[in-house]
Amino acid sequence: MEHTVTPITPDLLTPDGWAPYGWLPVADSDPSDGTERLAFSWDDVHVNLISHRRDEVPEVPGGLRCEGLFRHATHTQVLMSLDATAVIVVAPADSRPGAPGEQPGLRAFTLPPLSPVVLHRGTWHWGPYPLAAEAVRLFNVQGLRYREDNESVDLKAIGASVDVLFDG
């Protein structure tokens, strides 16, 4: 099988750019506050701190390689870097990464510290991984039983890895 590596560069995080994948929380004084809702089909909302290390994924000249994506069909997920700028790769919930002829429209975004994002139920994601730091510590809200609802696609196995290229 031929292995294709597609290079992408992270976009800045904006409400419009992020909209296909989730939403960005707003101030309680914003008129749009409360128009979006978290969803947990199994009523198992859970808050914890997690971390991702840069050495968990392959490093390539100028960036990191995304070799797989994950998603959760039963719940939304909230992520916020507490201490380091990070990068996340996403694809829409209704896409089928890895299906023959499917181009899921993968995008990468830079996540500055203390900038929360919410993933829609089913949004494919990789990371967040730190851009320059050894690790990133993340505030995480997701279903407690996420391991039972953790669909994945192995991009490397199907020859469709993505190199996320950035300075740093």
Q: What is the pLDDT of residue 100?
A: 57
Q: What is the pLDDT of residue 149?
A: 84
Q: What is the pLDDT of residue 96?
A: 79
Q: What is the pLDDT of residue 122?
A: 95
Please identify every stretch of the chain with a pLDDT value under 50, giving residue numbers as ranges: none
Q: What is the pLDDT of residue 103?
A: 52
Q: What is the pLDDT of residue 145?
A: 87
Give the Å distances, CA to CA, from 109 to 12, 87, 128, 129.
6, 6, 9, 11
* Domain containing residue 70: CATH number: 2.60.120.480
The tokens describing 131, both together, are: 């851009």
Q: What dihedral do alpha carbons 34, 112, 138, 154 form, nearest 10°?
A: 100
Question: What domain range includes position 117?
Answer: 4-165
Number of structural domains, the chain? 1
